[in-house]
C-alpha cells in the first residue's frame, strides 16, 4: 500500500512520457479546458514551443509573429507547418542570404526542379561558386549530367576567382583531372598581385606535377615560384628559399638567394666555384665583416685565386695578410707596394708602423734581387724602431743587413735596466 501511494504522488509531478499521438490528443484536451482567448494564445505558444505541428495553430502563430521581429527561420517554419512551402521560400529569398535554406525547403516540400529554379535565380544576382556547386549536385541527382558538368566547371572557375582556391582544387580532384588542378594553381598564380602568394600557388602546382610524374612541368613551376619570391620585398623562411633554389638547380639564382638571406660566404663560394670571378669579387666588396672576408680570401687561395685573395684582404683592411699572400704567391712587387705604403705612414702616437711590414718588404726586395731597396728598408727600420726604443727590433734588422756589430749594440741597448 505504501509503494502504491508514493507512485500516485510521483505521477502528479512527473507525468508519464506518452507517444506522439497520445501527446497531441492530450494537448487538444488540455486546450479545451482554457477560456477562448487563453486557448488561442496557448495554441500559438504550443507551435512556438514545438509541442504542436497543427496547420491551424501555425496559421495563427504566423499572423501573431508577423510584426514581432521573428527570425527568418522561425517565420519560414510556420509557413511550412501551415502547408505553404512557397511562403517559406519567399521569406528566405527576402533575406537574400538564405538561398540554400530556400532551396532546401523547395527540394524537401515541392521538387528538385523548384530548388534548381531558386539557385538559377540567385546566380542572376550573384554568380557564386557555391550556388553552381549546389546546382551541379541537383542536376546530377535528376540525371542531367551535361548540366551538372557545366555547373561543375562554373563552380571551379568562380571559386578560383573569388579566392576559394582550395575548394576549386578539391572539386577538380574529385571530379576532374590532376592536369586541371595544375592549371587552376597556375591561373590563380598568374592573376595574383602578391609575389609571395604567386610563389605559393606555383609551388602547389609543382607539387601536383610531381604527383603525376611530370618532372619537366614541376621544374618549370618551381622556377616560377623562385622567381616570384626573388621579386618579393619580404623574405620568409630563408632555408625554404635556399632549398627551393637548390631544387631549381639554377646556380646564378642560388647565388642571388644566398645574398638575399645574408649568407655572403656561401654566395661567394658558389660564384667562385662556378668560375664567376667578377660576380664573386662583387659579392666580397659588399661585405664589411672582417672575419667573413678573411674566410673568403682563404677560400680564394684554396682555389688558386691569389690575386682575388689579395684584393679581398686589402678590402678587409688586412694589408699584412695581403702583403704576405702577394709575397708567397710570387708577386713580390705587389707585396713591396703594400708594405711601403704602410712603412711610410705616420701612425698614432708616433708609432711608425708594424715591424712585420718592414720584414715582408725586405724579403720581397730580396726575392726581386734589389740590393739598394734591401739596404734602404733595413736602414729605415733600424732608425724608426730605435726612435721608438724598440732596440731588439732594430737589432733584428741590423742582423738581416749583415751588420753584426750594430746588431749587438742594439741588443745591449735593449738589455739596459730601466731607471
DSSP 293-349: HHHHHHHHHHTT-HHHHHHHHHHHT-HHHHHHHHHHTT-HHHHHHHHHHHHTSPPGG
pLDDT digits 0-9 by tens, 394-407: 999 999 999 999 99
Residues 6+ apart with CB under 8 A from 297: 308, 309, 310, 312, 313, 316, 318, 321, 325
pLDDT digits 0-9 by tens, 309-349: 999 999 999 999 999 999 999 999 999 999 988 887 765 44
Distance CA(335)–CA(407), nearest Å, equals 26
pTM reported for the whole predicted model: 0.68
Question: At 257, is the pLDDT very low, low, confident or very high (cuts 50, 70, 90)?
Answer: very high
pLDDT digits 0-9 by tens, 348-361: 444 456 899 999 99
User: Given a cut of 60, is residue 6 above it in pLDDT?
Assistant: no
Distance CA(310)–CA(322), nearest Å, equals 5
User: Given a cut of 80, is residue 285 above it in pLDDT?
Assistant: yes
Query: Domain map of the chain by residue range?
Result: 177-250, 342-419
User: Given a cut of 50, is residue 3 above it in pLDDT?
Assistant: no
Q: How is 225-243 classified by DSSP, letter by letter?
A: HHHHHHT-SS---HHHHHH
- Provide the CB-side half-sphere exposure for 11 (13 A, CA): 8
Quote the pLDDT of residue 17: 41
pLDDT digits 0-9 by tens, 214-227: 999 999 999 999 99
Could you say which of 1.25.40, 2.60.120, 1.10.3470, 1.10.20 is the CATH number of the domain covering 177-250? 1.25.40
pLDDT digits 0-9 by tens, 11-28: 333 344 444 444 445 788
Quote the pLDDT of residue 8: 34
Distance CA(258)–CA(229), nearest Å, equals 13
Distance CA(85)–CA(91), nearest Å, equals 10
Amino acid at each position: 500500500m505504501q509503494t502504491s501511494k508514493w507512485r500516485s504522488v510521483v505521477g502528479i509531478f512527473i507525468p508519464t512520457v506518452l507517444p506522439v499521438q497520445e501527446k497531441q490528443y492530450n494537448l487538444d484536451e488540455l486546450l479545451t479546458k482554457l477560456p477562448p482567448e487563453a486557448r488561442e494564445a496557448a495554441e500559438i505558444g504550443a507551435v512556438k514551443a514545438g509541442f504542436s505541428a497543427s496547420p491551424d495553430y501555425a496559421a495563427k502563430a504566423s499572423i501573431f509573429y508577423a510584426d514581432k521581429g521573428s527570425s527568418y527561420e522561425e517565420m519560414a517554419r510556420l509557413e511550412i507547418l501551415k502547408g505553404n512551402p512557397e511562403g517559406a521560400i519567399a521569406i528566405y529569398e527576402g533575406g537574400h542570404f538564405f538561398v540554400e535554406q530556400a532551396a532546401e525547403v523547395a527540394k524537401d516540400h515541392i521538387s528538385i526542379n523548384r530548388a534548381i529554379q531558386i539557385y538559377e535565380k540567385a546566380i542572376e544576382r550573384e554568380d557564386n561558386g557555391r550556388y553552381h556547386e549546389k546546382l551541379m549536385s541537383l542536376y546530377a541527382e535528376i540525371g542531367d549530367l551535361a548540366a551538372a558538368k557545366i555547373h561543375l566547371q562554373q563552380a571551379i572557375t568562380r571559386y578560383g576567382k573569388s579566392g576559394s582556391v582550395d575548394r576549386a582544387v578539391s572539386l577538380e580532384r574529385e571530379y576532374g583531372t590532376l592536369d586541371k588542378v595544375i592549371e587552376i594553381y597556375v591561373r590563380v598564380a598568374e592573376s595574383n598581385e602578391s609575389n609571395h602568394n604567386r610563389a605559393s600557388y606555383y609551388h602547389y602546382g609543382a607539387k601536383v606535377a610531381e604527383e603525376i610524374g611530370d618532372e619537366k612541368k614541376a621544374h618549370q613551376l618551381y622556377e616560377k615560384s623562385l622567381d616570384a619570391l626573388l621579386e618579393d620585398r619580404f623574405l620568409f623562411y630563408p632555408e625554404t628559399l635556399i632549398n627551393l633554389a637548390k631544387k631549381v638547380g639554377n646556380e646564378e639564382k642560388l647565388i642571388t638567394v644566398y645574398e638575399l638571406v645574408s649568407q655572403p660566404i656561401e654566395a661567394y663560394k658558389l660564384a667562385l666555384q662556378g668560375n664567376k670571378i667578377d660576380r664573386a669579387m662583387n659579392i666580397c666588396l659588399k661585405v664589411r665583416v672582417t672575419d667573413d672576408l678573411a674566410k673568403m680570401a682563404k677560400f680564394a687561395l684554396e682555389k688558386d685565386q691569389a690575386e682575388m685573395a689579395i684584393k679581398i684582404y686589402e678590402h678587409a683592411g688586412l694589408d699584412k695578410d695581403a702583403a704576405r699572400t702577394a709575397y708567397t704567391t710570387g708577386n713580390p712587387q705587389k707585396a713591396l707596394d703594400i708594405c711601403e705604403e704602410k712603412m711610410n705612414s705616420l701612425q698614432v702616437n708616433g708609432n711608425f708602423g708594424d715591424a712585420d711590414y718592414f720584414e715582408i718588404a725586405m724579403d720581397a726586395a730580396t726575392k726581386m734581387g734589389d740590393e739598394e731597396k734591401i739596404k734602404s728598408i733595413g736602414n729605415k727600420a733600424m732608425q724608426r724602431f730605435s726612435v721608438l726604443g724598440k732596440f731588439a727590433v732594430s737589432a733584428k734588422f741590423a742582423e738581416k743587413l749583415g751588420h753584426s756589430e750594430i746588431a749587438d749594440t742594439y741588443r745591449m741597448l735593449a738589455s739596459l735596466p730601466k731607471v
